[in-house]
Amino acid sequence: MITLSNIEKVYQTKTIETVALQNVNLHIPKGEFVSVMGPSGCGKSTLLNIMGLLDEPTSGLVEIDGTPISKYKDKELAHIRNQKLGFVFQSYHLINDLSVLDNVELPLLYRRGASAAETRKLAMTALEKVGLSARTKHFPAQLSGGQRQRVAIARALIGQPEVILADEPTGNLDSVMGEEIMNILLHLNQQDGTTIVMVTHDENMAHKTERLIRFFDGQQVSDARTAAFNFQQV
């Protein structure tokens, strides 16, 4: 599904050169739920941005479904993001002036051939999956943090992506709400077979996923199956 080979990312200013990622080699197969952990500034979000085609590596190869993305132009990358990837952010990134339903519909705005009625139906289905079908007309400011993140997940789901990239999706939530969100993600992975890559600081959450990759100072220091995976295998 997603393969990273010898990825290096260096942020360069006139005076400072910061290595965000170094020699990263990863393969995320279809249907896997992977968590990425590490201290702040270790390059987790950079990794997610590169996987999500939002950023380019300084060197190395990124492949989606076996095709190197370096050959794609901006328009084609946008198309891949729209068709194959869904994003969930720590700070939700909802548009406050749009209703819940309109926020969820956003990805299909950039997809050709999606009729208004079809878009609405898909948005309603996505909201039902996250248990928010009663809040369609609400605005983000009228929702709790957990509800906002559920809206963000519904928005990620509407385009039926193969991969969801979640950047600390429970980071701004209390443990109960965090648990709720985690359950939704697990459900998506197990029932729908959606591949999920989740950046988290929470060991408990990470251990609920199948695979845990740890980063330190821009380098991948471990990549292992979790107990949850072993439990599933058993």
Partner 1 sequence: MIRHLFKLIWNRKKSNFLLITEIFFCFLVLFGVLSFIVYNVRNYTKPLGFEHDNVWLLTMRPSTDSSALNHQNLEQVLQLVRTFPEVQQASLTSSNAPFAFSQMNNNLSYGNVKDVMADFYEVEDDFKEVMQLQVREGRWFGMQDNASHHAPIVINKALKQQLFGEEDALGKLIPVNDSTNYQVVGITEHFRAGSEFAADEPAFFTRLNLPRSPNSFWSEVLIRVKPGTGIAFEEKMVKQVAGIGKGWALEVTTLEKMRQNKAKLTMIPMIALGLVCAFLILNVALGLFGVLWYNINSRHGEIGLRRALGAASGQIYRQFIGEVLVLATFGLLLGVMFAVQLPLLQVFDVESIVYTVAILGAVVVIYLLTIVCAFYPSRQAAAIHPAIALHED
User: Distance between CA atoms of 154 and 188, rounded to whole angstroms?
Assistant: 11
Nearest approach in angstroms of CB 44 to partner 1 is: 12
Question: Is 116 an interacting residue with respect to partner 1 (CB under 8 A)?
Answer: yes
Residues 59-78 that bind partner 1 (CB under 8 A): 74-75, 78
CB 45 within 8 A of CB 167: yes
Residues in the interface with partner 1 (CB under 8 A) total 29
Choose one: 88-96, 125-133, 203-211, 216-224; the region binding partner 1 (CB under 8 A): 88-96
Instruction: Please select the residue that binds partner 1; options are 28, 43, 89, 184, rule is CB under 8 A.
Output: 89
Task: Select 87 or 208, whichever has its Cβ closest to partner 1.
Answer: 87
Task: Select 58 or 83, whichever has its Cβ closest to partner 1.
Answer: 83
Task: Select 111 or 187, whichever has its Cβ closest to partner 1.
Answer: 111
User: Distance between CA atoms of 42 and 86, rounded to whole angstroms?
Assistant: 23
The CA-based dihedral angle spanning residues 11, 196, 90, 101, taken in that order and rounded to the nearest 10 degrees: 120
Residues 180-219 that bind partner 1 (CB under 8 A): none
Instruction: Please select the residue that binds partner 1; options are 7, 42, 81, 170, rule is CB under 8 A.
Output: 81
Q: What are the Cα distances from residue 64, in Å, to 46, 50, 76, 110?
A: 17, 11, 12, 20
Query: Among candidates 164, 126, 200, which has minimal Cα distance to 118?
Result: 126
User: Distance between CA atoms of 38 and 40, rounded to whole angstroms?
Assistant: 7
Question: Is 106 an interacting residue with respect to partner 1 (CB under 8 A)?
Answer: yes
Q: Residue 81: how many CA atoms within 13 Å on its side-chain side?
A: 20
Residues 121-180 that bind partner 1 (CB under 8 A): 155, 159
- Cβ neighbours around 222 below 10 Å, total: 11
Residue 137 tokens, joined: 């007309």
**Residues interacting with partner 1, by CB under 8 A?**
45-46, 49, 52, 54-55, 74-75, 78-79, 81-83, 87, 89, 91, 93, 95, 97-98, 102, 106-107, 109-111, 116, 155, 159
